[in-house]
Amino acid sequence: MLTLEKFEEASEIVKRVTNPTKLVYSEFLSEQTGGKIYLKPENMQHTGAYKLRGAYYKISTMSEEDRNKGLITASAGNHAQGVAYAAKAFGCKATIVMPTITPLIKVNRTKSYGAEVVLYGDVYDDACEYAYKLAEEHGFTFIHPFDDLEVATGQGTIAMEIVQELPTVDYILVPIGGGGLITGVSTLAKMLNPKIKIIGVEPTEAASMTAALRAGKVVSLDSANTIADGTAVKAVGENNLPYVQQNVDDILLVDDDELIGAFLDMVENHKMIVENSGLLTVAALKQLDCKGKKVVSVLSGGNMDVITMSSIVQHGLIQRDRIFSVSVLLPDKPGELVQVAQTIADEKGNVIKLEHNQFVSTNRNAAVELRITVEAFGSEHKQKIFDALEKKGFRPKLISAKLY
């Protein structure tokens, strides 16, 4: 059972290893929604995510004998680093089984905390099955990423900090993967103040908690295909579901496209790197009536590799019409390219890429294709540039924009 006494104990214990992630008031999001929006930046933890809380509290509840047997878990990211860091703090051995496709940066970070990393399988489920096998063979203690009430108690310490800092909070938005975080946060928040509304947020393509609530039991999705990889879980925890049924007021679903825009907003307005799973609660604000309410969005983590980051930024700029591409057909004679460039420049557009293809037609005098990628201020500016090209007789066609 999750008890207030255990939450209070956990809140003191996790302070030994966590950063004090004070609420950040978001003027930008408050203006957009009409509410007072605060961010709980768990992306600023030592390991880049909230998972350290649950791992450290779980290990603190073990006997010295159990810790000395060694710990083991399976994870492709945040839980791996949380367990590795917590195990190092307690001076015990940790083995982390990670899928073979785990990005090298995450593998190296986990190793840097002193854990032994075993690469096995193509997906988390394969790694988890192998971790259980190793636990049985070597007598290791397995720490589940989410389906463990002591782990959930550690994660719930986030609610204690939110309520202490903002006692009059109306809504707390929490990302959902396997359900450990929202189990802890919702249960403690309701204990402290039953009037607080707890809103869970899932990716549309990995809505395993929504499916479980509809069915009244844990069900396994056929797939969990989402860019919010930290919440890409096919089935939620058996231990978590009853607490979610009792304490969570609503669950919102967010499409991947919305996370792309939320990433840009975080970078440009808050100078923060937040991973896609952590952005679920920001993207979901549009679906909530926040007017006159105090709302806290939990940013669960910020572990994102640079290649993914650059891809998200590119797609975000294209999505918001801040980068677009057009194709024009020109006669193959001197000065035509200059006229196109000048037309774009006159409208304050910035050309960032050009492709000049003389072989689009056998009649080069009639048609040489010019593909231009332009930086703009947004949809209205993009239309002005497009209209100016049309007015000059270049007959522009919008094409798919690519920066590479």
Catalytic residue IDs: 51, 300
In 77-186, at which residue ranges do the beta strands (DSSP E only) sit? 94-98, 116-119, 141-142, 171-175
Task: Tell me the sheet residues that pair with 391.
Answer: none
Q: Residue ranges of the alpha helices (H) in 139-223?
A: 149-155, 157-165, 180-192, 208-215
13 in Cβ contact with 57 (< 8 Å): yes
Residue bearing tokens 């917590």: 86
Burial track 174-193 (b if 16+ CB lie within 10 A, e otherwise): bbbbbbbbbbbbbbbbbbbe
CB atoms within 10 A of CB 32: 14
Cα separation, 385 vs 78, whole angstroms:
44
Cα separation, 326 vs 315, whole angstroms:
17
Cα separation, 97 vs 3, whole angstroms:
31
Find the farthest-apart pair of alpha carbons in the chain and give their distance in angstroms, rounded.
84
Using H for helix, E for strand and C for coil, what is the string for 221-287?
Answer: CCCCCCCCHHHCCCCCCCCCHHHHHHHCCEEEEECHHHHHHHHHHHHHHHCCCCCCCCCHHHHHHHH
Residue bearing tokens 């500016």: 381
To the nearest 10 degrees (0 to 180), the angle between helices 104-112 and 78-90 is 10
Burial track 195-221 (b if 16+ CB lie within 10 A, e otherwise): ebbbbbbbbebbbbbbbbbeeeebeeb
User: 80 φ, ψ to 5°?
Assistant: -55, -50
